[in-house]
Structure 1
Amino acid sequence: MAYPSPIVFDLFGVLIRKQRSPDQDRLAELAGTDSTGFSAAYWQERPNYDRGCSPGAYWSAVGASLGLSFNQGKVEQLTALDNESWSNVDPSMVRMLYELRRCDTPLYLLSNIPDPLFTFLDARHGWLAELFEQRFMSCEMGVAKPEIAAFDKAFSSVARRHPGAVARFVDDSPSNIAAARGLSIVSHRYQGLAALQAWLRDSDEAQELKA
């Protein structure tokens, strides 16, 4: 079945698996601290990294929260290990993307992502540039989900490209889904491929009935 209306996908937790606890443990070990304290600092400073601050500024802020200081070499090591920890692709989802493109479904990407990770993934996974008509990356926009401005930038652009179409949004984060639904964006919280496929079929049939 074709899914003709545009679909805007989240990246991490949908197309690429989320970072695992062992990855955080390795980062903490490299930083020279315990995992619990490291994790708190890592996530506390992450929104600014996602919005485009440099890796040096990010790891400096993480270190400051922990009473640590990282030289340039350590920053580069932490950045490389962090990038690797966010690169575990879900092949079943990538296959689905190719299937959707064969059905001429316009695909878009809206992701919170720091610039070094975006560059790293683009170099490793060609499908990221191949499959999406446009990619809305927080590090380039300067705003991150669930900020309303992030959705405005993405969905206003999609609307201009597809006048009259109802764009759909897929994300695994409850807060992002709540923000999107608050803007009347047709949304699905991703919790597995089968449920997503069923939702796409149902939403497509609903749009056909309205046509």
Structure 2
Amino acid sequence: MTGAVFLFDLFGVIARLQSAEGKDRIVRTAGIPAPDFWDAYWTQRPPYDRGEVNGPGYWRRVAKTLGTCFDDHQIERLVAADIASWSGVDDTMVDLVEELAAQDRRIALLSNIPGELASHYEVRHAWFDRFEVRALSCRIGRAKPDPDAYRWCQRALRVPPDRVLFVDDRQDNIRAAEAVGMRGHLFTTAARLRERLAQSEAESSRP
């Protein structure tokens, strides 16, 4: 089989990382000092990303870690604020996704993303449907850098791992992909990514 498959991370590549304004809104809604809050936020995030708890369940776990309690209205506001903080996209990268899809290139997505946020993107962004495979952690029960997350993608794509170029903004996720035999590209800019995609396509087309 020839031709590369381009497997994209979402946040930090196609979608923006949390904005400072969005993070401030979450902290204000929680009413907890920022350092303690973010420790609890990230400590409890993996089960949420893997779909083991929903949004309200996640925020109750965060509250318990902080030794406090969020009422139902506050939890609703926290879920909304969290979604908003992750909702920005890079239009240049969206254009690249659309371009690759129009060229019938094989593109896929592997993202650590909780259920409520996944639904937000599926409903609001038509380009989300351009990906042949969407490996969303909340749906597949595996999150990067767990090797099984990458293996799940390989099985779904039905290609040898060395035909997959994985694009992510985190070096630890790149290393995990390379450990299962994929090739990796650490994302910095769309221009450099374009160069790497062309190189990868040429490499994969060799006998």
Same-fold call, TM cutoff 0.5: yes
The 1:106–1:34 alpha-carbon spacing in structure 2 relative to 1, beyond 3 Å, is: same
1:81-160 superposed matches below 5 A:
81-129=81-129, 131-159=130-158
Where does residue 179 of structure 1 map in the other structure? 176
Where does residue 12 of structure 1 map in the other structure? 11
| Matched position secondary structure for 1:187 | strand
List alignment gaps of at least 5 residues for structure 2: none
| Matched position secondary structure for 1:110 | strand
| Matched position secondary structure for 1:22 | helix
Q: TM-score, normalization: structure 2?
A: 0.93
- Counterpart CA distance in 1 for 2:160 and 2:37 is 46
Q: Deviations over 1:41-100 (max 9, x none)?
A: 111111111011111221011111212111221111100110011110100001111111
Deviation, structure 1 residue 194? 1.0
Q: Deviations over 1:8-51 (max 9, x none)?
A: 11111100000023322211110111111111111111111101
Q: Deviations over 1:85-136 (max 9, x none)?
A: 111010000111111112110111111000000111211112112x111211
Where does residue 42 of structure 1 map in the other structure? 41
1:24/1:35 contact within 8 Å kept:
no
Deviation, structure 1 residue 164? 9.4
Where does residue 58 of structure 1 map in the other structure? 58
- Counterpart CA distance in 2 for 1:58 and 1:17 is 22
The 1:182–1:163 alpha-carbon spacing in structure 2 relative to 1, beyond 3 Å, is: closer
List alignment gaps of at least 5 residues for structure 1: none
1:9/1:170 contact within 8 Å kept:
yes
Matched, 1:190 2:182: no
Letter in 2 for 1:184: G
1:4/1:104 contact within 8 Å kept:
no
Q: TM-score, normalization: structure 1?
A: 0.92
Provide runs of 4+ in structure 1 moved above 6 Å.
Answer: none
2:30/2:78 contact within 8 Å kept:
yes
| Matched position secondary structure for 2:185 | strand
- Counterpart CA distance in 2 for 1:46 and 1:154 is 22
Deviation, structure 1 residue 163? 7.0
1:45/1:58 contact within 8 Å kept:
yes
Deviation, structure 1 residue 4? 4.3
- Counterpart CA distance in 2 for 1:164 and 1:134 is 15
2:3/2:163 contact within 8 Å kept:
no
- Counterpart CA distance in 2 for 1:5 and 1:143 is 23
Q: Which moved more, 1:195-204 or 1:107-116?
A: 195-204
- Counterpart CA distance in 1 for 2:31 and 2:204 is 54
Matched, 1:167 2:164: yes
Q: Give me the identity figure in percent.
A: 37
Letter in 2 for 1:198: E
Q: Which moved more, 1:105-114 or 1:19-28?
A: 19-28
* Corresponding residue to 2:198 among 201, 204, 209: 201
- How many residues get paired? 205
Deviation, structure 1 residue 207? 2.7
- Counterpart CA distance in 1 for 2:102 and 2:54 is 38
